[in-house]
A = this chain, B = another copy of it.
Amino acid sequence: MVILNLIAWRKKNKVIHSYIEQKQKQINQSLVRELDQLELPLDLKDALLYATKAGGKRLRPVLMMASFEAFNHSIEKVLHPALALEMIHTYSLIHDDLPAMDDDDFRRGKHTLHKKYDEATAILIGDGLLTYAFQVVSNSDQLDAEEKVYVLQQLSQASGFEGMIAGQHLDLQGENQSLEEQELNRVHQLKTGALIRSAVKIGAYLGGATPPQIESMDQFASYLGLIFQIQDDILDVSGEMDVIGKPVGSDEEKNKSTYPQIMGLEQAINMKESYMNKAKEKYSEANINQPILLELLEVFGNRDA
């Protein structure tokens, strides 16, 4: 029986990984197509494509698409919002990597934008990607005006002053300080959690979820965001550079508080498991007859990069 279960698990795992790969491919292609049509000075275009092709897991748009597909099949509707979300995420990484911020030279195993080009270019490309995210949604030919407004409200709130901006500010302030678990949760809920929640909410809303379903999904996403961050911290302690694409131990080097540091590695892993159970509860409250998001939860919660 154990062997049979393992075979079933491998098969299921293969299905979800091919689902993720298929979505990633769709996002990568659409992203390049969308940005490549811009008429820009050549060096600016070059930098923009470098920043966009640098890759990454495309977690947020994959999540939004999966959340949409939990309710609906016509995936075209969610494509522009998904691209916008990835543009916002990409801009935030570019600016966070700047010398005045986290001062990172590598990202996903490649030079960060300001190392490859210069700081002015990195600031401008970030600004442009943020702006283009809102442009892509407001110009979408797949959404009606009400839908556009909902998407824009969610994205701007999640990435704005009371979301990602405050999170990055608190994260920078938190360097060389020892944060309590609650403070650390707050930093991550703002810095990465808000955007992950917006991914799931927008997907569910556009897919046709009811307000109570959106509410349950939002709580599911809230746990997912924390799980993702705890796993990030765990990987920074125990991962390998050639897999995670940046130097191991870079959090410690910057004296940033991490979950393993404030509670120990084992306890951090336990906490992650407990959040995964809570996320599953919330998901079942939404009454969705579609397991993709639960499988994504497993994959992202146990990822090794």
Contacts and interface: CB of A to CB of B under 8 A. Distances in A.
Interface string A26-66: 00000000000011110110001000000000000000000
A35 B180 CA distance: 29
A138 B165 contact: no
A162 B118 contact: no
A19 B119 CA distance: 41
Interface string A147-165: 0110011001101111001
A128 B158 CA distance: 11
A128 B43 CA distance: 26
A44 B159 CA distance: 15
Given A135-B157, A159-B131, A44 B166 contact: yes
B100 A120 contact: yes
Interface in A54-107: 91, 95, 98, 100-101
A132 B119 contact: no
A23 to B, nearest CB: 25
Chain A: interface size category:
35 or more
A112 interface: no
A15 interface: no
A172 to B, nearest CB: 6
A42 to B, nearest CB: 11
A123 interface: yes
A260 B45 CA distance: 31
A230 to B, nearest CB: 23
Contacts of A38: 161-162
Interface in A103-157: 118-121, 123-124, 126-128, 130-132, 134-135, 138-139, 144-146, 148-149, 152-153, 156-157
Contacts of A146: 145
> Which of A40, A43, A120, A168 lies at the interface centre, i.e. has the most chain B CB atoms within 10 A of its CB?
A120
Interface of A: 38-41, 43-44, 48, 91, 95, 98, 100-101, 118-121, 123-124, 126-128, 130-132, 134-135, 138-139, 144-146, 148-149, 152-153, 156-157, 159-162, 165-166, 168-170, 172-173
